[in-house]
Structure 1
Amino acid sequence: MRTQVAIIGGGPSGLLLSQLLHLKGIETVVLERRSRDYVLGRIRAGVLEQGMVDLLREAQVAGRMDREGLVHHGFDIAYDGRLHHVDLDGLTGGKTVMIYGQTEVTQDLYAARDAMGGIVIHEAENVALHDVKSDAPFVTYEKDGETHRIDCEFIAGCDGFHGVSRKSIPEDVLREFELVYPFGWLGLLADVPPISDELIYANHERGFALCSMRSKTRSRYYLQCSLAERVEEWPDDRFWEELRLRLPESALPGLTTGPSIEKSIAPLRSFVAEPMRYGRLFLAGDAAHIVPPTGAKGLNLAASDIHYLSAGLIGYYRAGDQQGLTDYSRKALARVWKAERFSWAMTNLLHAFPEKGAFGDRIQRAELDYLFSSRAATTSLAENYVGLEY
């Protein structure tokens, strides 16, 4: 098989890149190690920056999002027994975020690729990248007991943290930066109405909590927990009781409990790989960077990568202009590191860090007190939350 761009990874970043390139007449083939049902069964983020919303509209996959997504003009931070509102709209000159689950985004992208005859090959095993420094790279994979080859001009590595793409860059070229946090998030998904019209981020001495939603009838809640704990140790009743303890009294009347339909514990880490280009291989999304979910930046960073990469490839194929591809790693990483900083800061601001002692606790309280007393500080938080400009 021959194509112009081989895309490794059939998650939202790979599918979005394929869709944007297809609309400009550029051929792609997407390889995904898992089945489509597995990809669509992953529970992931649901807060979309304005930039990502606009990019999905550009990709002609925003119809259902615009009908069913929930536009949020702000969010609340619970601290010291009170709810403090962050007015995103008012502080950023009208910018907002959209609540629309990553699973829904992926479904919409699959539907669009199917409608346009896009090639997405699932259950592609033992994917390997070859000659990525040459002008004629190619990809091999196994499916149904046979080995297949795809000749291409560029390779987009959108295959996540554990994928083959980043591992295809030599160790003497790749630099990796990582911070592992000493706790995780215990997440619960339930078909109950959200506790509030706004997201609530809670700072509490017992640990962080987040009250989020996927729709008006489906809620997603998180609790900071030890990495030594197991999901089996958290029956629903224990989860709901602990959530109540971490929220202010004023928020509790809106809390509706119910049976969980999914529970999981996710470790938190910050990670960046540099560079994001090696020859004709370009990394995007979780293949190049991971953020703790506190700032809601993971999926949005993947979208900004695709914005830069699609623009570079379109410029190359339309006009032979290589500047966008030359600048890709630098531009993408500049935005990545700003989002890493914000996610790190939000994590440090809102979580319990007993190992930092009494001094660390007082510093955190001082930071929160300053945040809620300074419009400049709150504006900075709001600007980063809605997403920095591409």
Structure 2
Amino acid sequence: MFDLQHILRENIKNLVPYSSARDEFKGDASVYLDANENSFGSPLNTNYNRYPDPMQFKVKQRLSEIKGVPPRNIFVGNGSDEAIDILFRAFCRPGLDNVITVPPTYGMYEVSANINDIEVRKVRLTADYQLNIEGIAEAIDDNTKIIFICSPNNPTGNSINRTDIETILANFNGLVVIDEAYINYSRQKTFIQELTEYSNLVVLHTLSKAWGLAGLRLGMAFASEEIIEVFNKVKPPYNVNEASQQLALEALQNIEQINDWIRLTVSEREKLSSDLRNLEIVQKIYPSDANFILVKTFDAKGIYDHLVSKGIIVRDRSKVELCEGSLRITIGTPEENQSLINNLKTFSVQK
């Protein structure tokens, strides 16, 4: 059975979190002399002279309305990367514990593990980019604290079999982190609705992809109230700035615009995949539930260099295991996608 206290680091159990001025007083007042702020204002003629809400209550309230999850089950951070880092710092003992990743996958799990001196045990996906359940089971020991699963996966684009994820959730006594950065483009439903069923589940979302707010650096973690309390205990006091909170609230009112963009992106994904299949330089188009496609080619480096010379930048993933010879291509606007195809045809003619 999953026991949060069993996997939580002892120093985190005993940690007394920093108490900020905005934690100690909540409400409205006419004179604020408690936080050593600049009382004369800001050169920007805004309220940026005041510290932001440390718990981002208004943002969480709006996210709660959209996601159908109570605010107490939501952590808002400086990108999903902050949530990933907190998971290591709260639950993994440096030099002792380990986590499992399933490459090819998002590289920040391993980078954050290395920063925190945590062993990474890699269990490669199968040839069709699905979980190796037996391999994962063999890699688990008493010091395995977290399993990271990205679905839809980056860089492959496919969704991970839901039954396989549920098998791991039901049988692993540590945390299972499902990174759903690209879930808005997927046919598969989110695992957020399973939070009440699995106490060891953490789901990561972001406003960087479908919501078009990559420059704001806002990510979310959804988990049990007890796990979210740990996140809030460990995070810096003002981890999300006031400008990001205000702009996020404004953006979160525009759901119809986002849904229109999602529909257009999915439509363009199918059209671009079809157009690419007709090119002689393309070997395979991998199935995608994301806003990008992984394309296996006969000359990944040559095609990449050719596109760079035309001012078109894609991602060369040919050195990533199980992605040999492949380019990762983000779905652009219809005009950008057509420009890509036109320039790939030029490369094909030259070769």
Q: Common fold, TM-score beyond 0.5?
A: no
Q: TM-score, normalised by structure 1?
A: 0.26
| RCO comparison, higher one (Cα < 8 Å, 6+) | 1
